[in-house]
Amino acid sequence: MIQHPMTLTGPKEDAGDPAVVVATRPKTKRPPLYKVLLLNDDYTPMEFVVAVLERFFGMSHAQAFEIMLTVHKKGLAVVGVFSHEIAETKVAQVMDFARRHQHPLQCTMEKE
């Protein structure tokens, strides 16, 4: 007879015994997530922002264009939500890329 590995077998009188220990998993807390934001400025070309969104956030041209318009109209937009390490890397990559191309584009992160 094959028993399920989680099935507990034993005498029936143990069923109500308070000495029986029930294994429980400790609840693991999910790590906090961080929003990556692009901020609007008056100098970075819209095409550059679209290229950044495609390159570093894997967006299609249409998605990137929509987000770029949101940044332009509202002053900022959330471009992704990631773990701390990934968000930090994305911000650094975008900032480095913008500086190398002499654009003042700002990218930040904040806790979700």
User: 74-109: per-residue pLDDT in tens?
Assistant: 999 999 999 999 999 999 999 999 999 999 999 999
Q: How far apart are CA 65 and CA 82, in angstroms?
A: 21
Contact at 8 Å (CB) between 81 and 112?
yes
Count the neighbouring beta carbons within 10 Å of the beta carbon of residue 25.
5
Where along the chain do its domains lie?
A: 33-111
Asked if 108 contacts 28 with a C-beta cutoff of 8 angstroms, the reply is: no
Sequence-distant (≥ 6) Cβ neighbours of residue 94 within 8 angstroms:
38, 52, 56, 105, 107
Express each pLDDT in 20-78 by its tens digit: 667 777 788 889 999 999 999 999 999 999 999 999 999 999 999 999 999 999 999 99
Cα–Cα distance between 37 and 25 in angstroms, integer? 36
Residue type, 35: K
pTM of the model: 0.75
- Residues 108, 97: Cα–Cα separation, whole Å: 14
Which fold does the domain 33-111 belong to in CATH? Answer: Ribosomal Protein L30; Chain: A, (3.30.1390)
Distance, CA of 57 to CA of 94 (rounded, Å): 10
